[in-house]
Amino acid sequence: MLYSNIKNEKIKNIKKLNQKKYRDRDNLFIVEGEHLVLEAYKKGMIKELILEQNVIFPLDVPTIYVTNDVINYISELETPQPIMAICNKLEEKELIGNKILVLDGIQDPGNLGTIIRSAVAFNIDTIILSNDTVDLYNSKVIRASQGLLFHINIIKRNLLDIIPVLKENKYQIIGTKVTYGNSLKSIAKLQKFAIIMGNEGNGIKDEIQELCDQFIYIDMNEACESLNVGVATSIILYELDK
């Protein structure tokens, strides 16, 4: 079926998925572009494929066709793509694995997407998002992750509740600070750990810091006061994966 009217109720409901409250309500989100759609398809996440009319992209899923005007209406991209999909949200598993990354209040969607890519690259088993971290299904997060959010267990929890559970299960809780603590270079290889990365401006909350077993910092040139949290996370995860 071809949809050509942006006032059509189905199209308006798809458009609403660009807002978090509707993603939460419907447990759905949108991916745009061939690469992200294929990544979602590989994981069986697609509920409905949306193609611009005359585009051929044969996937074995329910498919609707829309005009260019409708694509432009739905899309959040400056240059809308002729291929997009409505996806079911990822199933939240329980905590799995020995290598855990905890994110405390990350706000920038680009940072979260970059962190997800690094977590997959350096073999993190589970990412735990604090309740005040940017929405995982924000379109900028999805694009920055390059679809790798489909390849790792990601859960959202109250950190004050989950960190004590980690401690009970013998995870070493490692906080990060710009200074003080132990140099990242000096950390012995850990078999079971949870590394905590804090908010871009404020770092790890005080009450979360109190739950840490130790702190680490990245040795840097004195001229550099700090690193972007996405870059810092990548460096730390690379070192811990050696």
- The pLDDT assigned to 65 comes to 97
Same domain, 50 and 134: no
- State both tokens at 210: 């109190």
Q: Are 193 and 79 in contact (CB under 8 A)?
A: no
Same domain, 32 and 110: no
Same domain, 231 and 111: yes
Same domain, 53 and 124: no
Domain final residue pick, 68, 88, 108: 88
Domain final residue pick, 67, 88, 109: 88
Of residues 222 and 146, more confidence is placed in: 146
Task: Answer whether residue 69 shows pLDDT above 90.
Answer: yes
Average pLDDT of the chain is 94
Task: Answer whether residue 31 shows pLDDT above 90.
Answer: yes
- The pLDDT assigned to 171 comes to 96
pLDDT in tens, 95-152: 889 999 999 999 999 999 999 999 999 999 999 999 999 999 999 999 999 999 999 9
Q: What is the pTM for the complete model shown?
A: 0.93
DSSP structure string for 172-225 = EEEEE-SSSSEEGGGPPP-SSEEEEEEBTTTBS-HHHHTT-SEEEE----TT--
Same domain, 52 and 119: no
